[in-house]
Amino acid sequence: MDKKELEKALGLFLALEMEQVSLYQVQAAQTADEHSAMALKHFAQIEQGHVDNIGAALQSLGGEPGLLAAVSPTFGKIAGHMTEVTGLVNLLRANIIIETFATRHYRYLIDRVEDPGLRELLYMNMIDEELHRAWMIDKVRELTGADEEKKKLQ
Ligand SMILES: [Fe+2]
Ligand SMILES: [Fe+2]
């Protein structure tokens, strides 16, 4: 992957990470369940860390992360509506899809990057996304009683 392609890919990551910060902030503010609200608040902070480290990586390549700040945070608006309409389980299911998407994008880029420092940064971010995904899958199982069903079968 040449420098231009890498800058473009990291620019897309930066925009997606910014969307996730606003998404989780809005969801945290609207979620009644305290444990889930705290988790979403924490996820927003972790996504902000990704915004910062991807922004720094772009800057070190000579890119212009400031230009991408113009991307509008639309997920947050959609999520706000979604919370009222469909409840926490569906909100988490939608987030799991987004986290899966993010994880796949990180994997794609890791497979095309040679710089060891950048690879490590991308790995750390991807593992954060995997942890978010795993937490939310576990929460959905708890909320839908899937764990209880499993216990009955044991
Ligand atoms: Fe992220
Ligand atoms: Fe995430």
Q: What is the pLDDT of residues 26-50, one digit of tens each?
A: 999 999 889 999 999 999 999 999 9
From residue 62, how far is each of 2, 14, 59, 86, 106 by CA, in Å? 13, 15, 5, 43, 21
Residue 125 has pLDDT above 50, yes or no: yes
154 alpha carbon – ligand 2 mean position (Å): 33
2 alpha carbon – ligand 1 mean position (Å): 23
- Beta carbons of 18 and 66 less than 8 angstroms apart: no
Determine the pLDDT at residue 85.
38
Distance CA 136, CA 129 (A): 11
**Ligand with smallest separation from the Cα of 135:** 2
The hierarchical CATH code for the domain 3-147 is 1.20.1260.10
Q: How confident is the model at residue 84 (pLDDT cuts 50, 70, 90)?
A: very low
Average pLDDT in the 141-154 region?
76
100 alpha carbon – ligand 2 mean position (Å): 9
12 alpha carbon – ligand 1 mean position (Å): 12
Task: Specify the pTM.
Answer: 0.83
66 alpha carbon – ligand 2 mean position (Å): 22
